[in-house]
Structure 1
Amino acid sequence: MQFGIFGVGDVGRDPLSGRTPTEHDRLKALVEYAKLADDVGLDVFATGEHHNRPFVTSSPTTLLGHIAARTKRILLSTSTTLITTNDPVKIAEDYAMLQHLADGRVDLMMGRGNTGPVYPWFGQDIRDGIALAVENYALLRRLWREDVVDWEGRFRTPLQGFTSTPRPLDGTPPFVWHASIRSPEIAEQAAYYGDGFFHNNLFWPKEHVRQLIDLYRSRFEHYGHGRADQAVVGLAAHLFVRKNSQDAVREFRTYFDASSAYGNGPSLEETMARTAVVVGSPQEVIERVLAYREHAGGAYQRQLFNVDGIGVPRETVLEQIELLGDIVPVLRKEFAVGRPAHVPDAPTHASLTTAAQEKAARPEEGPR
């Protein structure tokens, strides 16, 4: 089971102090968060890709490459790589480059994004969002797995005898998670390839989350990648923790009510009851997160927490990461209890490379 933090790099005003950090301050803070997450023993640091204000994370590979040089063991990921508006050739080369520089500590999460104007900025039409996600990812897989690619599709110029460089480290492409909060086509895509499926369930009730994950699990089994409960699932949560529940709720409410994402909607209490917004004491956080196995339809592989954004200041985010460093060992222990032996861990570069080597050493299988 992997635990980590993620964010989208939004620049928000702190409603308590009235201060708004600069873009420079936000980017420097993200590096600091990743380093502390590594120091306290978290498994994953992920950042999103956005090209519009108030976000600053327009170049995830640049940010993650810098973080790779400042950290030792934490896995570096994205909470969105825009498969729809990025050229698959550039994704293939950028993330293979990052993979080499980070010594394999890289995977990525494909998404369509949630900002309509981005599509025309990059020469695309939002009405083609699903089709772009399907076609671009099909090309990306080939670019990582074939030395020479001939390609002709609907959304980009043809390729003839093209080789993306550098090649993936050890011949092993980064593991891919397909992220969606509402699109069954993306769950189907993840299942078809046997990739991971990540549901960013911050704003959605558990019934909706379970429905989409159940679809992915059933189709994963349909395509012959294993049993449904062996599918690779990830979940998100928005976390705010203090030593006692009353302080956590009182402090977080100010940020919640002032947020453009949460404010002017259901109350904090309603949101906590229905979604993956977790506010409380360490013990309450542990109990809430352990219950996410119901949302995921059983054991799952990755749990990421958003402790950043909506105006929460740098000092408070660092405190949240420190507290999470104390909570995660308990979660690891509790999640291990009763976990079926046949349910795999989240793939890593090492496990994928080993599996590929073992497959290559086996006699050729007959037709399937």
Structure 2
Amino acid sequence: MQFGIFTIGDVTTDPTTGVPMSEHERIKAMVSIACKAEEVGLDVFATGEHHNPPFVPSSPTTMLGYVAARTSRITLSTATTLITTNDPVKIAEDFAMLQHLTDGRVDLMLGRGNTGPVFPWFGKDIRQSMELATENYQLLHRLWREDVVEWEGRFRTPLHGFTSTPRPLDGVPPFVWHGSIRSPEVAEQAAYYGDGFFANHIFWPTEHFQQLTQLYRQRYEHHGHGSADQAIVGLGGQAFIRKRSQDAIAEFRPYFDNAPVYGHGPSLESYLGQTPLSVGSPQEVIDKTLTFREQFGDYQRQLWLMDHAGLPLKTVLEQLDILGEEIVPTLRAELDAKRPSHVPAGPAHPRRPAVSS
């Protein structure tokens, strides 16, 4: 079982002080958070890709390359890489390069993107996003597995006798997760290729993501990659932790209420009841996270959003200390002990040992 964090890189004014963070400060804070994640024993750090304010991570491979030089063990990933607006040739090259630089401790999560104005900025039409995602991944999948590629499609110029360089490390492509918050077509695509499916269920009720994950598992088995319970599943989440739950709720509430993604909407209590958001004591976060296995089955990767909505860097680093020292060791032991022997652990390049308890 792999545990880690993901960041969406929002630049949000701290609602308790009214003090904004600069883009420079936010980018540097993301690096500090990634290094802290390794220090406290987490397995994965992932960064999103956004090209519009109030978000700054427009170049996740640049960020991950820099973090790779500052770390030695943690797996580096994206959450997500936009398969629709990025050229699949460039994705193939960038992540193969990261593989070599990190000795295999890199993978990626593909997503379509859901911000309409971004598509024309890159010469694309959001109305074709699903077709773009399907065709671009077909090409990306081949670029990592075929030394010489012949390709013709709808959305890019043909490739004739093309070789993507560098080749994947040891001939093993980076592991791919397909991230989705709404689309059954994405679950089908992940199942067809035998890739991972990541349900970032931090926004909508759990039942919605249970349906998507169940579909992915059924289709994974249908396509002959293994039994449904062997499918590779990752889950999102969000947590804020203090020794006493009352203190956690009181401290986190103003940040929740003003969050750029879900603020000014349903109450904190509503989110706590319907989504994986955990705000409380370490034991409460442990107990809620353990329910994810009951809801989704055995899974391989758990990522939390910890640095959203203007939380000060000092607070985020404190949160990571608690996560690494008091929460993840218990979850790792309990979930690994419950996982049947035929269900795989979290994906890793052959040069990287799989995470175990």
Deviation of 1:113 (Å):
1.2
Question: Normalised by the size of structure 1, how large is the TM-score?
Answer: 0.94
Give the Cα separation in 1 of the matches to 2:69 and 2:111: 26
- Whether the 8 Å contact between 1:179 and 1:199 is mirrored in structure 2 is yes
- Whether the 8 Å contact between 1:170 and 1:353 is mirrored in structure 2 is no
* Residue type of the alignment partner of 1:301: Q
1:279-328 superposed Cα distances (whole Å, 9 cap, x missing partner): 010000000000001331x1000000000121111111111111110110
Distance 1:35 1:87, change over 3 A: same
Q: Which residue of 2 aligns with 1:97?
A: 97
Which runs of structure 2 are paired with 1:249-268 in the superposition (5 Å)? 249-268=249-268
Deviation of 1:23 (Å):
0.7
- Whether the 8 Å contact between 1:179 and 1:197 is mirrored in structure 2 is yes
- Whether the 8 Å contact between 1:172 and 1:353 is mirrored in structure 2 is no
The answer to whether the aligner puts 1:225 opposite 2:228 as a matched pair is no
Which runs of structure 2 are paired with 1:279-358 in the superposition (5 Å)? 279-296=279-296, 298-326=297-325, 327-350=327-350
* Residue type of the alignment partner of 1:48: G
Give the Cα separation in 2 of the matches to 1:36 and 1:353: 21
Give the Cα separation in 1 of the matches to 2:92 and 2:353: 18
- Whether the 8 Å contact between 1:209 and 1:295 is mirrored in structure 2 is no
Give the Cα separation in 1 of the matches to 2:249 and 2:9: 23
**Partner SS, residue 291 of structure 1:** helix
Give the Cα separation in 1 of the matches to 2:124 and 2:114: 14
Number of residue pairs aligned between Structure 1 and Structure 2:
353
Deviation of 1:352 (Å):
9.0
Which runs of structure 2 are paired with 1:33-44 in the superposition (5 Å)? 33-44=33-44
**Partner SS, residue 302 of structure 2:** strand
Q: Which residue of 1 aligns with 2:22?
A: 22
Q: Which residue of 2 aligns with 1:179?
A: 179
Distance 1:74 1:110, change over 3 A: same
Give the Cα separation in 2 of the matches to 1:159 and 1:259: 44
Deviation of 1:347 (Å):
1.3
Give the Cα separation in 1 of the matches to 2:16 and 2:196: 39
Q: Which residue of 1 aligns with 2:193?
A: 193
Q: Which residue of 2 aligns with 1:62?
A: 62
Identity of aligned residues (%): 68
Stretches of structure 2 lacking an aligned partner (at least 5 in a row): none
* Residue type of the alignment partner of 2:105: R
- Whether the 8 Å contact between 2:103 and 2:351 is mirrored in structure 1 is no
Give the Cα separation in 2 of the matches to 1:3 and 1:353: 15
Q: Which residue of 2 aligns with 1:109?
A: 109
* Residue type of the alignment partner of 1:320: Q
Give the Cα separation in 2 of the matches to 1:217 and 1:282: 31
1:72-123 superposed Cα distances (whole Å, 9 cap, x missing partner): 1000000100000000000000111111111111000000112111110000
**Partner SS, residue 304 of structure 1:** strand
Give the Cα separation in 2 of the matches to 1:325 and 1:78: 21
* Residue type of the alignment partner of 1:318: L
Give the Cα separation in 1 of the matches to 2:73 and 2:197: 23
Deviation of 1:157 (Å):
0.4
Give the Cα separation in 1 of the matches to 2:133 and 2:332: 34
Q: Which residue of 2 aligns with 1:4?
A: 4
Deviation of 1:351 (Å):
7.0
- Whether the 8 Å contact between 1:233 and 1:300 is mirrored in structure 2 is yes
Deviation of 1:35 (Å):
0.6
**Partner SS, residue 338 of structure 2:** coil
Give the Cα separation in 2 of the matches to 1:6 and 1:53: 18
Give the Cα separation in 1 of the matches to 2:320 and 2:60: 21
**Partner SS, residue 349 of structure 1:** coil
1:205-227 superposed Cα distances (whole Å, 9 cap, x missing partner): 11111100000000000000000
Distance 1:268 1:306, change over 3 A: same
1:128-153 superposed Cα distances (whole Å, 9 cap, x missing partner): 01110100000001100011101000
Q: Which residue of 2 aligns with 1:364?
A: none
**Partner SS, residue 308 of structure 1:** coil
* Residue type of the alignment partner of 1:321: L
The answer to whether the aligner puts 1:203 opposite 2:181 as a matched pair is no
Deviation of 1:66 (Å):
0.4
Distance 1:189 1:205, change over 3 A: same
**Partner SS, residue 144 of structure 2:** helix
